[in-house]
Amino acid sequence: MDDRDLIVCRCEEVTLARLAETFASHGCSSREAKLRTRAGMGICGGRTCRPLIEQLTALHGGLEQDATLPLKVQQPVRPVTFGNWGASS
Amino acid sequence: MKPGRIREHPILGPLAASSAEIAFTFDGVSCSALPGESIAAALLAEGVRRLRDHEASGTPRGIYCNIGHCMECRVTVNDTIGVRACLTPVAEGMDVRSGRRLPAPFGHSPDEDQGRLERTER
Amino acid sequence: MSERFSADILVVGAGPAGLCAAAEAAQYGWKVTVLDEYMRPGGRLLGQLHQERGGNWWNGIQEAKRLADSATRAGVEVRTGVSVTGLEQASGVAEGWDVWTDSGRFRGRQLLLATGAAESAIPVPGWTLPGVMSIGAAQVMTNVQRVRVGNRGVVIGMSVLAMAILSELRLAGIEIAAVVLPPRHPLSGDASIPSQVFASLLRFAHLAPRPLFRMGARLVQPSVLRKLALAGYPKRGLKLMGTPLQLRRTALEIIGDGGVEGVRVADVQPNGSAIPGSERVVEADFVCIAGGLYPLVELAAVAGCPFRYIPQLGGHVPEHDERMRTPLPRLFVAGNITGVESAKVAIAQGRVAGLSMAMSMNEAYGSASVEGRRDSRGAELLDGENALRGTASLESTNVLRGAASFESENAFRGAAPLNEKYAARDGAPLEEKLQTALEAVKQARREALIQFQPGIVEVRQEMYAKSR
């Protein structure tokens, strides 16, 4: 199987090849991999691919499984239009 | 062959017989739904699986999780964007539209864009 | 702008845990609002349909209706179609939580997060094609929406969950050509290795002598698994309700132009390595991917709750004690967000959380007869800044307010006996009811015939012992 054919982050279409190459080049944390590739930063907020990114990070030796989530969760946790955001505050 | 609805079920019983079909359109095409059906379900019952194209790559997408988590099923409803078809019950006269690929500022693929950005970085 | 509270207690998630917690707390006179982004209450319970040990059917739609009706009768407001976008501790008034949604802001004194679990995927080349969905999606479409997901499908991923839902699809008359394993790549792990998949399925056979569970069919009985073992991984696979379970076949790629048209598969050795020349295409117009479930903790994260990583529970879970309290003041959790288990455990945990919240509401805001609180006290509580009414000793109240660690929570436990003061309508003291409810959780856990992961009893014991 060609890793370039395997999409990991559906929202941003980040492939396994791109993620593997990023981990290999930068030896990075999951957060850094996310910032470099945009995996986990799409509109679903990482809900679909977060476990996959964490799994990959662990495989590359970069994950501490502890009291904090490796990938930060930011509000809003559902997409909000600017119109609604202004109206509800 | 259009998959259709599960009208009979050995344990759940028959689908509530209802003559009250709800008319709506998808990309201008007339469709109908039963009361309480989500947009995604009503479209699937008609054999429509593609709900949008990926904004960058243009690849077709449909439901994935069906409970509002993955955002793949987002459609435009009566001019409101980003509505999850799996969570939204069909209402009479709804104008549902699928999203298309957007014009790309630089290249035609995320990798091309990424390539341009990286060359700029150096 | 008025600083009014929308409710005493806010609950996010109208699944079994959220609904039961709400119904319980409401019995003691508290105004409870439950928010859920789905169109109907019930959460993951809605799609469930299987036979239990005695032969009776567990019908998720009926169970969900029963729970939702109970909640409504108790005075709970259940708001469906409401998506929570964020939350924060309420500022400027007596303590509480602000929950932001696409239907405006809700403010409550206490908050229960019962958001359940999300499905974790196993990616397969071609999995973004229309027609590929999670196996949970197929369950909902079939049992809840009553729409056929397609004419002929393939399930990728052979877990107990997959087989349970396969049975439900077959029961509804949906044709599934095969259940195969996912392709071998860094993200599929053991799920792509026949010998590992078999070993994990066999774990359930060891719960014999009784049949493990019946999910609408002769599913995962020891006899089926014994046959699998004796047959030594037959290439053709063993059939479950007419669908071959192909332990020695893997999906390579989902193919199609514009939507699913088929799945390219290949045979594999028991250790997962491909057998050359065995590739073929299975025609299909839908594919279900069966990964696993993980607790959906995003709101606990934005609230600032600390976590524990516990693989047996599905991943990161919010720190909490047996009484469903998190280290954050007035923040509770219940159901699959605390760890993936069964609906019955979620129901039992919901009861605990409801009692726990009622007790701490009493502690902070005083107790009156249920009727009185509903009629007048309730309104006063929602309007007023003066939250301290007729409380027990200030000490215990301060403990509740300032508590960020479990140690001070222990002080709450040691406070003056609350029994007489906080009697419920039927006369039984709340503390006693809580003890019964805690026992019911353990009982539900013991009785759960499906444990998606072994070792749950142990990790729970350890987690709750640490939090004392």
Contact A48 B69 (CB under 8 A): yes
Domains of chain C: 7-118+294-466 (3.50.50.60), 122-290 (3.50.50.60)
Specify the higher pLDDT residue, C214 or B22: B22
Question: Per-residue pLDDT averaged across C131-150, rounded?
Answer: 98
* Least confident stretch, A27-41, B32-46, C177-191, C254-268: A27-41
Q: Given CB atoms, is B87 within the 8 Å cutoff of chain A?
A: no
Confidence of residue A32 (pLDDT cuts 50, 70, 90): confident
Q: Given CB atoms, is B107 within the 8 Å cutoff of chain A?
A: no
Residue C92 has pLDDT above 60, yes or no: yes
> What pLDDT sits at residue B119?
59
> What pLDDT sits at residue C381?
42
Confidence of residue C60 (pLDDT cuts 50, 70, 90): very high
Question: Per-residue pLDDT averaged across A6-20, rounded?
Answer: 96
Q: How many CB pairs lie under 8 A apart between chains A and C?
A: 95
> What pLDDT sits at residue C308?
93
Going along C193-325, which residue ranges are E strands?
A: 238-240, 243-255, 262-267, 280-283, 286-289, 292-295, 307-310, 315-318
Do residues C321 and C409 touch, judged by C-beta distance below 8 A? Answer: yes
> What pLDDT sits at residue C224?
61
> What pLDDT sits at residue C455?
85
Contact A52 C298 (CB under 8 A): no
Domains of chain B: 22-102 (3.10.20.440)
Do residues B50 and B75 touch, judged by C-beta distance below 8 A? Answer: no
CA of C80 to nearest chain A CA: how many angstroms apart? Answer: 16
Question: Per-residue pLDDT averaged across C360-374, rounded?
Answer: 64
Contact B65 A11 (CB under 8 A): no
Contact C302 A6 (CB under 8 A): no
On chain B, the residues whose CB falls within 8 A of the CB of A47 are 69-70
d(CA C131, CA C286): 5
Query: Could you tell me the two tokens for C263?
Result: 């799945």
Confidence of residue B110 (pLDDT cuts 50, 70, 90): low
Contact B65 C133 (CB under 8 A): yes
Residue C252 has pLDDT above 70, yes or no: yes
What share of chain C has pLDDT > 90, as a percent?
A: 64
Q: Is C1 exposed, middle or buried (0-12, 13-18, 19+ CB in 10 A)?
A: exposed
> What pLDDT sits at residue C165?
94
d(CA C350, CA B105): 50
> What pLDDT sits at residue B33?
97
Query: What are A's interface residues with B at a Cβ cutoff of 8 A?
Result: 10-14, 18, 38, 42-44, 47-48, 79, 81
Confidence of residue B68 (pLDDT cuts 50, 70, 90): very high
Question: Per-residue pLDDT averaged across C285-295, rounded?
Answer: 96
DSSP conformation class of C402: H
Write out the DSSP string of A59-76: HTT----SSS-SS---S-
pLDDT averaged over every residue in chain C = 82
> What pLDDT sits at residue B2?
85
Residue C411 has pLDDT above 60, yes or no: no
> What pLDDT sits at residue A68?
73
Residue C371 has pLDDT above 80, yes or no: no
Q: Given CB atoms, is C296 within the 8 Å cutoff of chain B?
A: yes
Query: In angstroms, how far is CA A16 from the centroid of its own chain?
Result: 12
SS3 percent helix, strand, coil of chain C, rounded to 5, is 35, 25, 40
Residue that is written with structure tokens 């999300």 in the block: C118
List CB contacts of C277: < 8 A, sequence separation 6 or more.
none
Q: What is the pLDDT of residues C433-452, one digit of tens each?
A: 999 999 999 999 988 755 55
Show which of residues 29-88 on chain C sit within 8 Å of chain B, judged by CB atoms.
Answer: 37-39, 49, 57, 59, 61, 81, 83
Write out the DSSP string of A33-61: HHHHH-TT-STTTTTTTHHHHHHHHHHTT
Peptide bond into A76 cis (omega under 30): yes
DSSP conformation class of C145: S
The dihedral of CA C104, C105, C110, C114: what is its sign? Answer: positive
Residue C147 has pLDDT above 70, yes or no: yes
Question: Per-residue pLDDT averaged across C332-346, rounded?
Answer: 96
Nearest to C298 among A49, A66, A77 (CB): A77
Q: What is the pLDDT of residues C255-283, one digit of tens each?
A: 999 999 999 999 998 888 889 999 999 99
Residue A30 has pLDDT above 50, yes or no: yes
Contact B71 A79 (CB under 8 A): yes
Question: Per-residue pLDDT averaged across C240-266, rounded?
Answer: 94
Chains near C, with 3+ CB pairs < 8 A? A, B
> What pLDDT sits at residue C449?
58
Confidence of residue B55 (pLDDT cuts 50, 70, 90): very high
> What pLDDT sits at residue B40?
98
* Least confident stretch, A47-51, C227-231, C442-446: C227-231
Residue C427 has pLDDT above 60, yes or no: no
pLDDT averaged over every residue in chain B = 90
What share of chain C has pLDDT > 70, as a percent?
A: 77
Contact B81 A81 (CB under 8 A): yes
- B57-71, C85-99, C182-196 — most confident range: B57-71
CA of B5 to nearest chain A CA: how many angstroms apart? Answer: 28
> What pLDDT sits at residue C346?
98
* Least confident stretch, B60-69, C93-102, C279-288, C343-352: C93-102
Q: Given CB atoms, is B68 within the 8 Å cutoff of chain C?
A: yes
Contact B71 A11 (CB under 8 A): yes
* Least confident stretch, B65-79, C114-128, C389-403: C389-403
Contact A13 B54 (CB under 8 A): yes
Query: Which H or E element spans position C153?
Result: strand C152-156
> What pLDDT sits at residue C446?
86
Question: Per-residue pLDDT averaged across A13-19, rounded?
Answer: 95
Number of residues written out for chain C = 468
Q: What is the pLDDT of residues C174-222, one digit of tens each?
A: 999 999 999 999 999 999 998 888 877 776 654 332 333 333 234 445 5
> What pLDDT sits at residue C234?
60
